Amino acid sequence: MDQVDRKIIAALRENGRATYADLGRSVGLSASSVHERVGKLEAAGVITGYHAMVDPNTVGLGVTALVGIHPTDTATEDDVAEALGALDEVESCYAVAGDEAFVVKVRVSTVDDLERTLGRLRRIPGVGRTNTTVVLSTRFEGRPNNAGLDEGRDGNA
């Protein structure tokens, strides 16, 4: 991956719907050259997909919580993670260092739904207890981290 690939990635993270012509103008290549490079980045697994960003409130998911998962002594992390992944309400799952094995981001419609979801989480085999933080507001989320993508690997422009 060279400097031009890094610039293409940064541009796509800002606007995943940009045309190859738009990308080409921003990185100084033809649309066909950008198309070829994007294809190679996708084939190499660097670009793993494209998706729509949706405001959770507008689709009825106005309650967000971060839930720490404390495993039992007999729990296997893979089994717990698989069970967490089966719950539609769990948007993200992070394996973390510390007392908790995982922190999951949960999105639901109401506080009552959150209570039901926490009950389901606690019934997963291997979950000893949970620690929940309810999000009051989101200042920013899901922003592209393009640090270093518009620079060389050594941090120099």
Q: Is residue 119, in this structure, part of any structural domain at all?
A: yes
Q: Quick check: 141 pLDDT over 70? A: yes
Angle at 87 between CA 56 and CA 121, to 5 degrees: 110
Q: Give the pair of three-digit tokens for residue 100.
A: 């908790």
Given a contact cutoff of 8 angstroms between Cβ atoms, the answer to whether 93 and 79 are in contact is no
Q: Are residues 116 and 78 in the same domain?
A: yes
Q: Are residues 83 and 29 in the same domain?
A: no
* Total domain count, the chain: 2
Q: Is residue 108, in this structure, part of any structural domain at all?
A: yes
pLDDT per position as a tens digit, 24-39: 999 999 999 999 999 9
pLDDT per position as a tens digit, 37-52: 999 999 999 999 998 8
Q: Quick check: 150 pLDDT over 60? A: no
Residue 75 neighbours by CB under 8 Å, 6+ apart: 101, 125, 126, 127, 128
Q: Are residues 32 and 97 in the same domain?
A: no
Structural domain of 86: 56-135
Averaged pLDDT of the chain: 92
Q: Are residues 16 and 67 in the same domain?
A: no
Q: Are residues 63 and 127 in the same domain?
A: yes
Q: Are residues 74 and 116 in the same domain?
A: yes
Phi, psi (degrees; rounded to nearest 5) at 47: -95, 120
Q: Are residues 91 and 33 in the same domain?
A: no
CA distance 24 to 21: 5
Count of Cβ atoms closer than 10 Å to residue 119 Cβ: 10
pLDDT per position as a tens digit, 78-120: 999 999 999 999 999 999 999 899 999 999 999 999 999 999 9
Q: Are residues 13 and 74 in the same domain?
A: no
CA distance 141 to 88: 20
Q: Is residue 73, in this structure, part of any structural domain at all?
A: yes
CATH number of the CATH domain containing 62: 3.30.70.920
